[in-house]
Amino acid sequence: MASMATLLSKTPFPSPHSLSKSFDTHFSPSIRVNVAVKTKPRTHRKLRVSSGLIEPDSGKLVELVVEDSKRDLKKGEALSLPRIKLSRIDIEWVHVLSEGWATPLGGFMREREFLQTLHFNSLRLDDGSVVNMSVPIVLAIDDAQKHRIGDSKKVALFDSKGNPVAILKENWGGLEVIDAKFGIEYAEY
């Protein structure tokens, strides 16, 4: 190893000044191509720009927040229904559903929507159109909660402090969000 290092260190390298001028290279193309370019006079085209929100997938935004005038009535109804206490993540999903971010869903997914989401990453709507929906939005309950609900057609969803948040309906009414504060006050819906 030492002898190789010595050999490499003693090998003389030519300096750039020692090269003869015969190595200077001049690049010139050996082929010339004539290209005729026709130009048109510039015309100004106007770009039409419109602003606004993107249309929801189903054509209509699904907002699930109960009107202020009906809120007390719905809170009273929720107190008489079987209860499910929601986790923090479930509350977030209620928030997503209530403001229409998961349109066309009108509440947590039913079995048909859940299976379509799992297998196809999309939902086929009743009109035949397909909507991208790759994340299942479901409310998981255990056997004890299922037993407490029994045959009830409606279930009240409560937060960790015991406040009614929403009413979940069995029919396609979906979800009615009672209290949509979620840390933000909404002036109008």
Whole-prediction pTM value?
Answer: 0.60
**Which two three-digit tokens encode residue 143?**
């056997």
State yes or no: pLDDT of 184 exceeds 50: no
Q: Which of 109, 68, 91 is nearest to 164 (CA)?
A: 91
pLDDT of residue 22: 56
Q: In this structure, what CATH number is given to the domain that contains residue 147?
A: 3.10.400.10
pLDDT of residue 182: 41
The residue-averaged pLDDT of 114-118 equals 90
What CA–CA distance (Å, rounded) separates 154 from 173? 10
State yes or no: pLDDT of 33 exceeds 50: yes
How many structural domains comprise the chain?
1
Q: How many Cβ atoms from other residues are within 10 Å of residue 131's Cβ?
A: 16
State yes or no: pLDDT of 35 exceeds 80: no
Query: Is 121 contained in some domain?
Result: no
Query: Is 122 contained in some domain?
Result: no
Query: Is 44 contained in some domain?
Result: no
State yes or no: pLDDT of 90 exceeds 90: yes
Query: Is 78 contained in some domain?
Result: yes
pLDDT of residue 161: 94
Let me know: does 148 contact 133? Beta carbons within 8 Å: no
What CA–CA distance (Å, rounded) separates 56 from 104? 8
Quote helix, strand, coil % in the chain, to nearest 5.
30, 15, 60
What CA–CA distance (Å, rounded) separates 130 from 136? 15
Q: Give tens-digit pLDDT for 125-151.
A: 888 889 999 999 999 888 899 888 888
Q: How many Cβ atoms from other residues are within 10 Å of residue 27's Cβ?
A: 4
Domain, as residue range, for 146: 68-106+139-177
Q: Which of 1-15, 34-48, 58-72, 78-92 shows the lowest mean pLDDT across its residues? A: 1-15
The residue-averaged pLDDT of 82-106 equals 92
Query: Is 99 contained in some domain?
Result: yes
State yes or no: pLDDT of 14 exceeds 60: no
